[in-house]
Amino acid sequence: MNSSYPTWYQSLCATACRAVPSGLVAGLCAAGTAAARSVNEGSTAFAPLNAVTHCLWPRSAFRQERFSLRHTVTGFAIHEVSAIFWGMLFETLIDRMPDARQRQQPFATATAAAATAATAYAVDYKVVPRRLTPGFEAHLSGKSLAAVYVALGAGLFAVAMLRRPAC
């Protein structure tokens, strides 16, 4: 990156470049888990992602259980963007570790991933207004909802571990 940019900007860009793949993979893991758990609980694989669009279409999102461009594709896009947002938090936590060796330790990385997933859950279901929640809770039990956030953290962890240099 051009050294004429301020250091904070260069750091933000570097973090964002790592957050995109981290968030995309974590979002895929979480969406896949939501879909699988929804089927196990008697709904369809598309229902949880369709529910994400309740912020846009509150009257139809929770009832839509089949694939649709309007609900499924939009819900998936919203979900992935939010996962990239959580990827930014995760990558910032990794960046704030005191030394480079600690950043490559699986335990430290797993702790950052778990902290990110726990924060995501707390914000999604305890902080934001009901209209801005993910909506997964309409089709998933509490146990399945927990599995979705574990999958989010696992995806963040996996990407970080794949990115680290070989021994």
pTM: 0.91
Q: Assess if residue 1 is contained within a domain.
A: no
Q: How many domains are there within the chain?
A: 1
pLDDT of res. 98? 79
Whole-angstrom distance, CA of residue 114 vs CA of residue 134: 19
pLDDT of res. 103? 66
H or E, element range at 81? helix 74-95
Token reading at 61 = 């999102």
pLDDT of res. 10? 87
Token reading at 52 = 């994400």
pLDDT of res. 95? 87
Whole-angstrom distance, CA of residue 161 vs CA of residue 94: 12
- CA angle in degrees (0–180, nearest 5) for 110-114-117: 140
Would you call 46 helix, strand, or coil by DSSP? coil
Whole-angstrom distance, CA of residue 81 vs CA of residue 102: 28
pLDDT of res. 148? 98
pLDDT of res. 8? 85
Query: Can you list the positions of beta strands (E) in the chain?
Result: none
pLDDT, one tens digit for every residue, the chain (167 residues): 556 888 888 888 888 889 999 999 999 999 999 999 999 999 999 999 999 999 999 999 999 999 999 999 999 999 999 999 999 999 999 988 877 666 678 999 999 999 999 999 999 999 999 999 999 999 999 999 999 999 999 999 999 999 876 54
Print the domain residue range for 108: 13-163
Whole-angstrom distance, CA of residue 109 vs CA of residue 120: 16
Q: Assess if residue 6 is contained within a domain.
A: no
